[in-house]
Every structure is written in structure tokens, then in C-alpha cells.
Amino acid sequence: MSAAVHINVNGRDVAVSAPGVKRLSDVLRDDLGLKGTKIGCNAGDCGACTVLLDGEQVCACMVPLGQAEGRRVATVEGLADGASLHKLQAAFQRHGAAQCGICTPGMLMAASDLLARVARPNGSQVKDALGGVLCRCTGYIKIVEAVLDIDGEGSGEAPPAGAAVGARLAKTDGLAMLSGAETYGADAIPEDALWLRVVRSPRAFARFTLGDMDAFMAAHPGIARVLTAADAPQNLYAILPGRKDQPVLAEGLVRVRGEGVVALVGERAAVEAIRDGDLPITYQPLDAMHDIASATASGAFQLHADRPGNILAEGRVKKGHAGAAFESCAAIAEGEFETSYVEHAYIEPEAGWARRVGQRVEIHVSTQTPIMDRDEVAGVLGLAPEDVRVIPTACGGGFGGKLDLSVQPLVALAAWLTGRPVACIYSRPESMISTTKRHPAFMTARFGCDGEGRLQAVKFHADVNTGGYASWGPTVAGRVPVHAMGPYHVPNVETSGRAVLTNGPSCGAFRGFGVPQAAIAHETMLDDLAEKLAIDRLQIRLVNALRAGQATGTGQVLEASAGLAPCLELLAPHWRAALDQVSAFNASAGERRRGVGIGCMWYGIGNTGLSNPSTMRIALDSGGKLKLYNGAVDIGQGSTTVIAQICADGLGLPVAHIEQTVGDTDLTADAGKTSASRQTFVSGRAAQLAGEDLRRHILRHANAGPESEIELAGNIVTVRDGGGQHEIDLSKLPMDQDGAVMQGRGTFDPPTIGLDENGQGSPYATYSFAAQIATVEVDMELGTTSVLKITAAHDVGRAINPIQVEGQVQGGIAQGLGLALMEEYVPGRSDNLHDYLIPTIGDMPEIEVLVVEEEEPLGPYGAKGVGEPGLIPTAPAIFGAIRDATGVRLTRAPALPHRLRAAILAEEQNDG
Amino acid sequence: MAEYLRPETLKPALEALGAAPWSVLAGGTDFYPARVDQVPDDDVLDISAIEDLRAIEERADHWRLGALTTWSDIITADLPPLFDGLKLVARQVGGVQVQNRGTLGGNLCNASAAADGVPPLLSLGASVELSSAQGTQNLAFEDFILGSRRTALGADQLLTAVILPKPRQARAAGHFLKLGARKYLVISIVMVAANVEIDEGGNVSAARLAVGACSEIACRLPALEEALVGRPCGAALGEFVAPAHLAHLAPLDDLRGSAAYRRDAALTLVRRTLNELGARA
Ligand SMILES: Cc1cc2nc3c(=O)[nH]c(=O)nc-3n(C[C@H](O)[C@H](O)[C@H](O)COP(=O)(O)OP(=O)(O)OC[C@H]3O[C@@H](n4cnc5c(N)ncnc54)[C@H](O)[C@@H]3O)c2cc1C
Ligand code: FES
Ligand code: FES
């Protein structure tokens, strides 16, 4: 064993016996139990592991333990002074600078290094100091604001009873993220857990045979088991009902690169020491079909028996007679568009662990969908759903990627078979290789309008490359045609979408389910028509904006809350100002030119034409503890806070009284998935009903009228109405089977009507609307684009918590900017955060968020959703702005510098 | 069990290297990312404790930068305008975490085609000092980097210092431009470094330029360097640059850019580098 290394960690001298080359991050987490230091990449690319070494920020994943000998290491756990927050932590809390919180320890440490050198830094100093830490959630805006407001006071509003909705309440679960105490998928693995590592196919399409595994086991002591397909009672799962197509481990055939072939289970060191090549696996490669053309060619290998022609799913919407309507159009625009694979790049790679408890299995995992995880794992293990318990850990970012199973069935199966706790943590490359992507889309569009710019007809088709397995491909194929005409009133519509199975990476859910891709097409169409008719680009959108009383493409008449027109009206003065500024700049500019663009979007909240209920329960116990049992997992977007605010106002008590249990499938009712921007609208409404239900019980008990005020102090509830006052001593009330003395329940399932064969129906109970303006500067000689400003107007129905709304919009804009300018996943070439680029703190524009509140009568206090809408209009707005600056009409995302430069050169040739 | 050795002086380090193969580790910012999916299991010679390798010293006719000089050391050091290009490199390597740890020696020995340290050293006319238990050898920097991830470093040698000759003229300055697809933490698509010396009449008396990421290894622009001599230094210094000056570049297509784009962008960057340098020098 190596000699002990002496280091001072957070002021405490410790001796560590571990190899000198061991990563300091692993030493902190595993030898010293300081899990606040996060690991997002193990390669210096994400900065989540940032700590201070003798006061200087470093990535702990690249520091050998030996180099910490005799030095001071400061981690997030050492920031607070006992119970009192460091002023940086308080500022982060006040500003909502942590969403999922996984980047927060690194951000805090980098910022604390800066503040030790510069007491009052300016914005560019903050960006330089924090530039090495990536955040995928916030768009960095609130992080910069927090560091600049280091001397500010307080930690957010503490609204009184009845005033929680609309308050800028700090995250109710924020403090644990700031102290490093929050536990994510990799943070609470039991000491005695076995480790599991999946051996994955290096090929996209191959048959394989397994050699002598007994001999392999004999040669590798410390390996407890090598799991293969044969070990799973039912080796198939899929998150969509009725389409189970995905094996836990491949059975002789791999359809995608990175597919799991076997899983090694054993002592951690033994598992980690084995290289994939050590395993007796022989691959016989097949001709991989990477693209749609090869997968749909006649005679192409059929990837799944029940999917002839490799067509996974199709969707369409047909209303009126688009073909005939084009005949009488004054202007027609046409185009073809293409987008790339986009990686979720949450900073927390997939992680979790499971243990067997008698005849049940318990899974602790970072997930967006505990109930589906439970049901799918139960299917794989051949257990009843009730015999699987999923306890979600904190989720370090999801964006749709953690709507699919990853480690869940593997750790559950291994724990079931070995009787030991089993853990699995994906490495960054593994996460990027084996989990889903945003669908590359190939779109053709034809839009026609009359002489005033009013849309008359739209034809649109999207083929999306869905990869080897279904995942959420069917959802994308269904959602895209509904949204593809844009947030506009169009009498004649013919739109369709088709998801094609290939040997590419499986594509699934990613913030917007295909709508961000479609928005690039429909917004370019609007710009084309505006150009043809010489109408202002904002004006043509306003003319066409869907309004209450009008029917959508699916024939659904919107009854209320159709807020695109108010968004555009609010943006109009900003638009004119931006156009003026840009033309002034361009009058004297050289190789740098500026432009302004606008993008609009709409987004149906919840599942498409399907029931998607949520149930919430709030219980009051004899000691006066008020607990909300909330099955909606918070993936950083803030649902835990927002749902508490809504529930508190339904109940009539201050939100500070509410404690929560979130997501545990044994303790909470099904609240559905955290996806489709549905939790505020659907679960929020259920929480409102639950709060109101409990209130009714209390008032009935006190025989008080509906306008009464309630107060809770200790175990006494005081109810006041008119003149009277009534006290309820909770400790005197009988306890129900849940240990509560009073409970409120609420269920909400948004009313929808499924789509018929022409895509007619009411697929969503409500829609969010938004419009964004982008100002960009393009370096004409280099093809690089900087986004200078985004002004975003979002109709959210009601902003339950304006901090969260702003945070969602800012974070969405960051992802939209990435989609527009830099994000392109190329299998095998960008399987890391070094080559796959997401926006850094320095890439973000100034952002102004304008909130429009067109109340939705069905929603809680009028609210709809904002989780996905933030990103959808951004890429179209940026593309429009680049076109304004350069004359280049972009048709392919992302607009990488070399592509834009080539287009600029081609445009110059055309002109010249 | 893999060995881990961290000597505090050069001698035992060189003796160890002479006796057996070791993986050398300095700041670790290339070492660990190369082992992302692994628990490192090589025998490691950690040279980071050898204080003598971390100094920046001015000598009579040259500057000596120890191999362990970090990017942050370069940013904070008090250096003449000659080193402005190198300082700009340092500020743009990775993020602050990487600047605090990554060393000049590591950057050169790792010898990536996109190593930002290489063009400025070419433009500064650097040589490297290589040491082994047998002795010390000085090698022109051009002869040190042989190709992508290939150097002239012997298995028993450490790079101990970078030697930068002082210019003949009192007026000398450097500059560096890096093109990447985002603001921080970005690998260069193309980078250009330039150094000029200006005579008393305000004309260029010597010039060195190098372009990176446009060929297997960064390369000098001899024809352009020659053509610069005698030109008046000013904000239009780069205007005459023509594609022919860059004809010998051999860029590749990759994720970050096409070959044609690189060639085109290199021309723009060379012109801008010279214009900006001319305006300042
Ligand atoms: C997130 C991130 C961003 C980065 N950005 C950039 C960038 O923008 N530009 C850029 O150029 N690089 C970049 N790098 C690469 C890296 O930081 C630099 O190359 C750094 O200077 C390497 O130095 P090091 O001391 O960390 O090297 P180490 O990792 O310690 O060593 C690198 C290699 O050199 C050898 N070596 C090191 N020192 C010596 C010596 N004195 N003698 C002999 N052999 C030696 C080692 O054996 C190893 O093979 C980045 C890295 C990361 C992780
Ligand atoms: S984990 Fe260290 S930088 Fe990502
Ligand atoms: S809050 Fe930064 S990554 Fe989630």
C-alpha cells in the first residue's frame, strides 16, 4: 500500500492512503466522503469538479492525489460557516442561480477563487473566472447576476398566506444544492455495493457471439457475475406502451453503436480494471444503415420484425385542401431543411443503484419518470409493479434524456440476482454513446399566403432519423405534424412526420420533441413570404397569429389563452429599436455585420391526445406537520417549488409550512412524467385541488365559511371567519391509515380528444406561445456568429414564480443557441464534451424576458408550461438574424463557422 | 501495483527515466483526459515537485521558461511585448482551471496538432532544452515537434526548459489570434502567431509567423516573413498578404472545419494578426 498523503481539506488535516495518481476528485468523494464535488466528465471539460488547491481553482479530476500533499484543498462543503451561508451561496439562492444544481459546487468554487482576488468583480471578470464550468440548465445569466450581487441582502421573498403564486420565491429545495449536501445518482451509493459496468458494442450493426464466460470469470477474481441477455426474465422494455423493442442486453444482434452486450458485476476495482477487449466477444459486422435513405431502400434489412420498411411511426394532419389552396396564393415559399443529432449534455451522467429487499427491489436513480421506470423494470424482472420501488435521487439535468431507462434495469437485475446492492455510473463517453439524442430532421415545407400575407395553405413533411430503437420516436412523429405550420391560423393544412429506424444512435425525447426542428422550417417560410411581399417580418407573424376563437390545424378551436399576438405586440417596440440599431451599425461596418431576426412558436402542453393525469396528496399530521406527497420529479426546472406555491395558495397557508416527499413511488401517487412542459399545468392543477381539498376538510371541521383564514402553529390550526375564531387541536384528532389527521387529494387530467386518421382532434388542453427577437453579429470573413441580444416574450398563462420562468427561458435560449450555432453530435467523433460543444458562459447574449399572462382557465391560477418553449423560437430567431446580416438563408443546423462562411462566399458570387 | 514517483529534484527524476519507462505527468491536463474511462494504472513519474523547472528567468541574450511554467504563470509574469502573443495564448487555453495547472512543457510534449503553445514558440524562434541522466541537449524547436503527437524527446529525457532568444532590435512585439467555435474551453480551428522586430526607421527588420491546426504540425510562413522585411510597420501591415503566402499549408477536414475553410480562415487571421500587430508594435 502507498504511504499516506497528508492534505488539509476545508481546514482539517487528513491522511489518505491511496495511490498517488488517484484523481483528487475520487479521493474527495470516495475516500473522504465529500460528495459535493461532482464528476461530469473526468476530463477537464465541464468544471463540475472544480475545487481550490492552495486557493486556486483547479479541476479535481485532473489533479493527482500526490500533488495535493501538504496543500490546502477547499471544496463546496467548506464554504458555509456552520449553518450560515457563505454570501455567494446566499446570492445564488436569491437569484435562482442553481436549477438542477449539479454545476453549482463548481460554479461556487470558481467564483470564490475570483472573489478572493477581486472583491467587486465586473461582468467580464466573472465570465473569465467561471468560463471553465459548464451549466446546461440556466443559460448562466442568473449565475453571473448572483456573483455580481455578492453584497445583496436576503434570500428571496417569504410570501404570506395566499400570496405564494406570483412570488419570486427562492427554490424550496435550493439550500442542499448550494451546500453540496444534495444527493444525485452517484452520491449515496452504499459502501458495500457491487459495481456494474456495461460492455458496449463498438459497432453500429453486427451479430455477435459470446465465448467462454466461465473461463473469463475464472481468470478475473472479483467479478461476481457477467450478465447477459439470458439473465433477464423478460429481456425487452420500451417506454411506450405496446412497443417493447429494446433489450436490456443485446441478444446476438446489436442495432446501434454502444448497445449493451454484457454487464460486468463485481468488486469496483475488479470491474474497473477490465478493458472491453478482455472479453470473449466476437462481432460479425453487418452493413450499417446510418441514414434514412439506406434504411428505406428496397430490400433493406428490417431492424424490427413488426416494423416493415423500417418505418417506426407516422403522424399527419390534414385539414381543408392545401393543394387547391396554393393555386390562389399570392406568394408561395418553399424550402428543405436539415438538422443534426443533438446531445442532451446534462452535466450529470446517468447513475443509480439498486438493492433487493425481500421479494421487492428498490432503485435509487436520477430520472424524469419514476413510475415508468418502476413499471418497465417490473416487466423486465417479471415482478408486479408494486414490488418495484423507485426512489428518485436529485436529477442533475434531464431535458428529455432521462425519460428513458439507462442503468435502471441493469442494476435492478443484478441486485435481484446477487442479493447485493449494485451501482452503476456511466462515464461521459458512455453516456454520450449509449443514450438518446435529438432527432436529425429532414424537412420539406411549402407555405402560401394571400396578398396581405395571410397564410392560406401549408404543406410540410419531416423524416426523422430515429435510430435503432423506438424510444420516444413515435411521440416526435406525432407531435411534429401538429405543430409544423407554426403558431398561425392556416385554413388548409397537410403536414406529416415519419420516424425511420436506422443504425444511428437512438433518438428520443429532447426538450420540444421535434418541434424545435420544425420551427426552423416554419419560421424561414414566414421570412420568405415577408420578403416576397415586402411585409415587415414581425407584422406578417402578427397577421397570422392564432387567436382565441380560431381553429388550429387539428380543428381544435382555442377557447382562451392564445397569447402570440400579445407577445408580438409587446415585442414590437424592441423590434423597431433593434432594426434601427443594426442599420446604424452596418452603415459603417467592415467585415462584421449585424442583423435582427424573429422566431415564434407554440407548444401543446402534455401528452399528444392521450390521458396524462396527475394526483397529489397533502397530509397534516397530529403534530402540525404539513406534507405534500408530490410524485412530480424536479429535474431542475423548479416544479418542487412551483407546485408547493400553488398548493399553499389552494390551502391558504404560507408556503413555508409545506414539506415534501418527492417522487418515491411507494409514497407518492402517479404524477406522470416530467416532460412535455406538463408539471406546472397538470401536477400544479392537481396540487391546487389537493390544497383546496385539505382546506375544505379544515373548514368543515371548524364549521367555517369558505372565506375563512387559516393559521397553523404547532399542533393548533386556528380558523377565523367574520367575527369567530375556532381552534383545532390536531393532536386530539384520530389518525388515518397514512398516519395523518387530515388529508387533501387532487387529480387533474387535462381534457384532450385523440387525433383521428386525418390528425383532427384536440390533442392538448392548452398551448404555450412565445416570440423571440435575436440580434447577432457575424464576422463575414470567418463565418462566426455572436448573439448579442435576445428579447423573449413568453405567454405562460400565469408566472407562478417569475424567477423560475426567467430561468427556464434563459436556459432554453442557451440550448436554442447551441442548436443554431454549434451543437452537432457525430457518433464516434464527438463522444465527449471536448469535441461536442455546448455554449459556455461567454457565448450567452444579453437576455430580456418579457412575461405575457394570457390566463388559461384550466391551469392552476391560470398557468400553463414553460419548460420547453424557451428553446423553440431561439434557433429560428438567430437564423433570421444571420440572414438579415449576411443575406444567407440557412437551411442546415448548426450554422458552424465553416458552413456559414461557405454560404457567404456563395452568396457573394451570386451577387457578383 | 503501479508505481508513483514524485521527486523534488531533477537528478532522481532523470535517473528513474534512464532506468525504466515511465509515464511523465506534469499538470495532468492532458494525462487524465487521455484516460477518461480508466483508473490510471501506469507507472507515473510526477515531475511537478521539481521547483527548478518552474522559473521564468531573463538571461543576457535569452529568456528561459522552465518546463513547468503554467499558463497562469505566463499570464501574471512581467514580460516584454515580445511575449504578448504567448500571453494571449495563455489567456485562451481552456478555462482558468486548466491555465492554473497546464504547463508549457506538457503542451509541447503532448504535441497535439491543435496545441496553442506551438505557433507562438515557432514565431519566437524558440529552442528546447532536453535533459537526461547523460546530459543536456539544446534543440531548435522546429526539430523538436516531428508530427501530430510525435516529438524528438527520447524515452530517457525530460523537456526541462524553453529558450527564447532576445530580439536584435529594441522594438519587438508578438501577437496571437485563435479561431474557435465558442468563447471558452475551445480547441482551435486555426491559430496564428506572429512576431516582428522594428528598426529605428519604423520598418520591419525581422518577422516570424506560424499557423497552427492547418497541417500536421504548426508551420512557419517563410515567404511571407521575407516579404515583410523592410515594410513600414502600421495598421495595414497585413494588407498585402496573399493566398500564395500560405500555399504550403495542408489543412484537413474534421469536425471543427473543412480544409477549404481552414485555408481561407488562416489567410484572414494572418492578415488580421499582422494588422493588429502593426498597429501596436
Ligand atoms: C478542458 C481543457 C481545455 C484545454 N484547452 C487547451 C487549449 O485551448 N489549447 C491547448 O493548446 N491545449 C489545451 N488543453 C490541453 C492542455 O491543457 C495543455 O496541452 C497543457 O499545457 C498540458 O500541460 P500539462 O502539464 O497539464 O500536461 P500533462 O498532462 O501533465 O502532460 C502532457 C504530456 O506531456 C508529457 N510531459 C509533460 N511534461 C513533460 C516534460 N517536462 N518532459 C517530458 N514530457 C512531458 C506527459 O508525459 C504527457 O504525455 C486543454 C485541456 C483541457 C483539459
Ligand atoms: S469532472 Fe472534472 S472537469 Fe468534468
Ligand atoms: S444548474 Fe447548472 S447544470 Fe443544472
Number of CB atoms found within 10 A of residue B139's CB: 16
Number of CB atoms found within 10 A of residue A891's CB: 17
The verdict on the CB of residue B153 being under 6 Å from ligand 1 is: yes
Query: How much distance in Å is there from the Cα of B28 to the middle of ligand 1?
Result: 7
Instruction: Give A162's contacts (C-beta < 8 A, 6+ positions apart).
Output: A649, A652
Q: Do B96 and A822 touch (CB under 8 A)?
A: no
Which residues in chain B have Cβ-Cβ distances shorter than 8 Å to A841? 183-184
Query: How much distance in Å is there from the Cα of A846 to the middle of ligand 3?
Result: 19
Query: How much distance in Å is there from the Cα of A637 to the middle of ligand 3?
Result: 10
Please report the DSSP string for A128-185 in residue order. HHHTT---SSSTTHHHHHHHHTTT---SSB---TT--TT--BPPTTHHHHHHT---BT
Closest partner residue to A2 (CB to CB) among B4, B72, B269 is: B4
Question: Which of residues A730, A748, A766 is at a domain's end?
Answer: A748
List pLDDT tens digits, range A624-661: 999 999 999 999 999 999 999 999 999 999 999 999 99
Q: Largest Cα–Cα distance in chain B?
A: 65
A123 touches chain B (CB under 8 A): no
Residues 189 through 248 of chain B touching chain A, CB cutoff 8 Å? 189
List pLDDT tens digits, range A698-731: 999 999 999 999 999 999 999 998 878 999 999 9
Q: Which ligand is nearest to the CA of B33?
A: 1
Q: Distance (Å, rounded) from C-alpha A40 to C-alpha B101?
A: 19
Mean pLDDT of chain B: 96
DSSP B132: E
Our mutation pick for probing the ligand 2 site, out of A42, A102, A135, counting the most ligand atoms within 8 A of Cβ, is: A42
Residue A708 resides in a domain: yes
User: Which CATH number covers residue A160?
Assistant: 1.10.150.120
B38 touches chain A (CB under 8 A): yes
List pLDDT tens digits, range A343-396: 999 999 999 999 999 999 999 999 999 999 999 999 999 999 999 999 999 999
Q: Distance (Å, rounded) from C-alpha A729 to C-alpha A715?
A: 6
Residue nearest to atom 4 of ligand 3 (CA): A100
- pLDDT for position A1: 47
Please name each of the domains of chain B with its CATH number. 2-165 (3.30.465.10), 171-280 (3.30.390.50)
The verdict on the CB of residue A138 being under 6 Å from ligand 3 is: yes
Residue nearest to atom 3 of ligand 3 (CA): A135
Task: Of A667-676, A811-820, A899-908, B128-137, give the lowest mean pLDDT range.
Answer: A667-676
Query: Do A379 and A444 fall within a single domain?
Result: no
> How many angstroms away from the CA of A434 is the closest CA of chain B?
14
Mean pLDDT of chain A: 96
Residue A737 resides in a domain: yes
A125 touches chain B (CB under 8 A): no
H helical segments located in A769-873: 802-821
Residue nearest to atom 3 of ligand 2 (CA): A44
pLDDT at A268 over 60: yes
Closest partner residue to A898 (CB to CB) among B25, B72, B257 is: B257
List pLDDT tens digits, range A225-235: 999 999 999 99
DSSP A200: E
B88 touches chain A (CB under 8 A): no
pLDDT at B278 over 70: yes
Query: Do A274 and A414 fall within a single domain?
Result: yes
Query: Do A731 and A785 fall within a single domain?
Result: no
- CA distances to A73, A326, A551, B161 from A490, rounded to whole Å, are 62, 12, 8, 70
Query: Do A769 and A818 fall within a single domain?
Result: yes
Bridge pairing between strands A50-53 and A206-210: unpaired
Cell of A395: 436529477
Residue of A350, A430, A856, A868 marked active site: A868
Q: Largest Cα–Cα distance in chain A?
A: 89
The verdict on the CB of residue B93 being under 6 Å from ligand 1 is: yes
Residue A894 resides in a domain: yes
Closest partner residue to B101 (CB to CB) among A62, A427, A826 is: A62
pLDDT at B202 over 50: yes
Closest partner residue to A64 (CB to CB) among B33, B46, B254 is: B46
Closest partner residue to B44 (CB to CB) among A21, A53, A131 is: A21
B94 touches chain A (CB under 8 A): yes
Where is A361: in which H helix or E strand?
strand A360-365
B54 touches chain A (CB under 8 A): no
Query: Do A542 and A457 fall within a single domain?
Result: yes
B31 touches chain A (CB under 8 A): yes
- pLDDT for position A722: 83
A784 touches chain B (CB under 8 A): yes
Q: Is A791 helix (H, G, I), strand (E, B) or coil?
A: strand
What is the identity of the amino acid at A334?
Answer: E
Residue numbers of the domain that contains A587: 437-607+757-911
Q: Distance (Å, rounded) from C-alpha A76 to C-alpha A119?
A: 19
User: Which CATH number covers residue A516?
Assistant: 3.30.365.10
Query: How much distance in Å is there from the Cα of A397 to the middle of ligand 3?
Result: 7
8 A C-beta contact, residue A400 and residue A428: no
Q: Distance (Å, rounded) from C-alpha A877 to C-alpha A816?
A: 10
Q: By CB neighbour count within 10 A (0-12 exposed, 13-18 middle, 19+ buried), where does A727 fall?
A: exposed
pLDDT at A176 over 70: yes
Phi, psi of A132 (to 5 degrees): -95, 5
pLDDT at B120 over 80: yes
pLDDT at B245 over 80: yes
A272 touches chain B (CB under 8 A): yes
Is residue A868 annotated as part of the catalytic site, yes or no?
yes
> How many angstroms away from the CA of A374 is the closest CA of chain B?
29
Query: Do A204 and A236 fall within a single domain?
Result: yes
8 A C-beta contact, residue A262 and residue A227: yes
pTM, whole model, 2 decimals? 0.98
Which residues in chain A have Cβ-Cβ distances shorter than 8 Å to B261? 783, 897-898, 901-902
- CA distances to A475, A655, A723, A825 from A162, rounded to whole Å, are 38, 9, 20, 47
Which residues in chain A have Cβ-Cβ distances shorter than 8 Å to B256? 898
- pLDDT for position B281: 84
A509 touches chain B (CB under 8 A): no
How many residue contacts between A and B have a Cβ separation below 8 Å? 168
Query: Do A680 and A824 fall within a single domain?
Result: no
List pLDDT tens digits, range A730-767: 999 999 999 999 999 999 999 999 999 999 999 999 99
H helical segments located in A236-369: 268-273, 292-296, 322-327
Query: Do A618 and A598 fall within a single domain?
Result: no
Q: Is B164 helix (H, G, I), strand (E, B) or coil?
A: strand
Residue A421 resides in a domain: yes
Average pLDDT over residues A677-702: 96
Bridge pairing between strands A50-53 and B127-132: unpaired
Residue A345 resides in a domain: no
pLDDT at B98 over 50: yes
Q: Distance (Å, rounded) from C-alpha A264 to C-alpha A226?
A: 5
Higher per-residue confidence, B116 vs A723: B116
Query: Do A560 and A626 fall within a single domain?
Result: no
Cell of A684: 400544479
Residue A871 resides in a domain: yes
Residues 144 through 173 of chain B touching chain A, CB cutoff 8 Å? none
Which residues in chain B have Cβ-Cβ distances shorter than 8 Å to A53? 100
Query: How much distance in Å is there from the Cα of A592 to the middle of ligand 3?
Result: 33
Q: Mutate one of B185, B190, B263 to test the A interface: name it (highest A CB count within 10 A).
A: B185
> How many angstroms away from the CA of B90 is the closest CA of chain A?
13
Closest partner residue to B2 (CB to CB) among A19, A829, A832 is: A19
Residues 1 through 60 of chain A touching chain B, CB cutoff 8 Å? 2, 19-23, 41-45, 47, 50, 53, 56-59
pLDDT at A912 over 90: no
> How many angstroms away from the CA of B166 is the closest CA of chain A?
31
Q: Distance (Å, rounded) from C-alpha A705 to C-alpha A702?
A: 9
Which residues in chain A have Cβ-Cβ distances shorter than 8 Å to B95? 47, 131-133
Higher per-residue confidence, B15 vs A84: B15
8 A C-beta contact, residue B278 and residue B194: no
**Of A138, A20, A27, A157, residue with least CA distance to A94:** A157
Q: Could you give the angle at the alpha carbon of A428 between the alpha carbons of A422 and A431, nearest 5°? A: 70
Query: Do A267 and A216 fall within a single domain?
Result: yes
Which residues in chain A have Cβ-Cβ distances shorter than 8 Å to B189? 897-898
Residue A46 resides in a domain: yes
Which residues in chain A have Cβ-Cβ distances shorter than 8 Å to B29? 44, 59, 62
8 A C-beta contact, residue A4 and residue A22: no
Query: Do A248 and A397 fall within a single domain?
Result: yes
Question: Which of residues A717, A748, A779 is at a domain's end?
Answer: A748
Residues 252 through 271 of chain B touching chain A, CB cutoff 8 Å? 254-258, 260-262, 264-265, 268-269
Please state the atom number of ligand 1 nearest to the C-alpha of residue B26: 30
Question: Which of residues A687, A713, A748 is at a domain's end?
Answer: A748
- pLDDT for position A331: 98
Query: Do A257 and A366 fall within a single domain?
Result: yes
**Of A672, A513, A535, A506, residue with least CA distance to A598:** A535
Q: Could you give the number of structural domains in chain A? A: 4
Residue A781 resides in a domain: yes
Q: Which ligand is nearest to the CA of B132?
A: 1
> How many angstroms away from the CA of B131 is the closest CA of chain A?
23
